[in-house]
Structure 1
Amino acid sequence: MRVIDLTQVLAGPFCTQILADHGAEVLKVEPLKGDETRKLGPYRTDDELREISGYYQSVNRNKKSIALDLKSREGRQVLLKLIDSADAVVENSRGGVMERLGLSYELLSTRNPKLVYAAIRGFGDPRSGESPYAAWPAFDIVGQAMGGMMGITGPDADTPVKVGPGVGDLIPGLFAVIGILMAMMKARQSGLGQFVDVGMVDCVLATSERIINQYSYTGRVPRPEGNRHPLLCPYGVVKAADGWLTLSAPTDDFWRKLLTLIERHDLAEDPRYAANGARLERQDEVYSIVEAFTRTRTKAELTELFGGVIPFGPIYDVSDIFADPHFRIREMLVEVEQPGSATPVTVAGVPIKMSLTPGRVRHRAPLLGEHTREILEAAGYAGDAADRLFKHNIVK
């Protein structure tokens, strides 16, 4: 599977990296100045080259890079030749950009009927329904805000809070992968590709779906409720002697097990706490009962006690993740070369584990234009023809 990656920053690169992790040949087409994230850091202290930031490294591994001036006619001709032999194109430009460059889906699909063309935009593409915000630029935080996620995240009903990771980009990236693979299956069956339209706000809403059913069924507008669940109890965060942990015991069985663990057998048949609905009505009391025990024990002690008995997990910072053998055993911390630095860096591994065709981190993210000549030769630009493109600053 050959993918032409015209994306930058996070949503699109994350999508194409997943495809690359699982064996797709991903040709990342960058402007001559490179993807913006190359400049955003962080960098190793000994890295004087500063060509590959931590941000760029984290979502561009397993790809090849060609730097290409798409504002030039010759640059666009190079891209068209690459797309003619591709299975998929992925872009996350604002609506209309590709059309103005003469690279619309309609034109590309005429040249390559089996092409799958995926577009990731803040509010989707007009081809599937023109949002009143179709022309608005959007980043992660916009997706989180307007997709409903921030509206139910925060310490209290009046304080919406952004989710830490860039899920307003990452979630659309995942949905784009799904759309591309489904379209690829159809293209290989019928010989016809299609346009895959992924709106960031739409994707965040889809993963915040409980706000839809709560409002539709009850008429109530869900608000931020801190670290507790609005429908399950206990299901949240409690204090330990040296930090915080999460636990979940909303079913009758897990609740009785929790009572045994915290040495409160006397409450096992108490009707005030016997059922999840009753516990919800008294959730402050329930959490106080649990914390009376957990506050006197360390996270390590509670891990030994709760682990494997009830749904439970200490809240980790990244140093805890690096120290926990789970992540090494599962190959979720992988070292790659860092050009400009004397030592390798660590990137997150491949979370989809497949028995027959496992994905893997094969190599680091590319330097800008690292594979330009190789890609040009494959597209038919060899020798003098390639040299001329370099000389006239069409490629880098």
Structure 2
Amino acid sequence: MGGDQSIDPNDYARPFQKDIYLPIGGARSSEDRQQTFGVSVDEDLAKTKQKIVKSAFSGIWSTFSPSSIAPSPRTGHFTVHDIENRKVYIGYGMLESGEIVFDLWCLSLNNLQWNMMKISGESITPRTGAKAAFYKNSIIIFGGFADSTYYSDIHYINLETLQLKFLQTTGNLPVPRSSPIMEVINDKLYIWGGFNGNWISDLSVLDLQTLEWSNYPQNIIGRANIPSVVYGKHILAYGGSKSGGLLDIDTQNNIVQIIQTTGPAPPPAALASGMVLIQDHLIFFGGRTEFEGSLVYAYNISKRWWFVFHVLPDGQTASLEDGTISDMGLFMIPKFHSFSAVYDANTRTILSFLGEPYLSYPVIHKFEVAEALAYLNLREDMTDILNIAK
């Protein structure tokens, strides 16, 4: 199949290690952290026998446990972010017991409390691996898997009425599958990849005004269970391949292509990772890999450049012992996969929750990264000025 063939989940490639330390950036200096938290990160560092690479600035990782009822721990659920109303919706998926569930939960980003939503309307088969997208105050849901069956139905939940209805569409319908890439751009729904016993490579596009499907064959072999974001008129995704490069779905031309990148990239074979967009950067972390922990990576979209984004625990809700220190002295957050990940622009924080390992109590991981990116942007602007002056 060539270098871009989709990967066996048990076959992982190692990340490119050259220049692993560059660039270094973050949100708070060590002195700032000592003033903010009851237990300083420096005191925590003193307790470990391993040397850890320290930078002038580091993103801050902390945890929070909501006091509200919360969804059962699960994988294979969908996640939808209503940015305007600062709400995150999750639903469906598989519990640790193997039970497949049909439910809908809402996390308010105002107070980080959960609320269970009662769905009514048409009936569907509970499933895992369904994908969803937010569109005009509705959640559009496609595909999934349950009891040896892959699904291709498309339905939506109206968030005002909580009524579930099937969409009656025409055209070249997409084949059944689980865990594809799915995003909405300009009244069109894009679906690519996924798995149904085969890796699906065609790009399916649904016009949400006419409800007609179009199909566009591609040369890139399909991938499944990898994160994606919308960047302008492009859908960017990463992981699930034996080779590197950033996956780019050009929605203007309906072409799926690979962007070659530079810098120390995440493991290309990573599955079920998290990735969010913050201005001109991607932040990538977690996933199923061969490593004990997870580095946090950043990607400069305009420069096509990956780098390790240094993160340290807050010393109060999270400690160095909760993560791993690599042989190179880099702090790695705990290994988890199949989780939800969103960026809240109001608080300038990345939030992640659910996924595996399954926990008996609800935990929300918080990553304060925006000040770090501001520092990096300033440095990159200065670098550009110096390059122009040469």
Q: Do Structure 1 and Structure 2 share a fold, with TM-score over 0.5?
A: no
Question: Which TM-score applies when normalising by structure 2?
Answer: 0.26
Question: Which TM-score applies when normalising by structure 1?
Answer: 0.25
Q: Which has the higher helix share?
A: 1
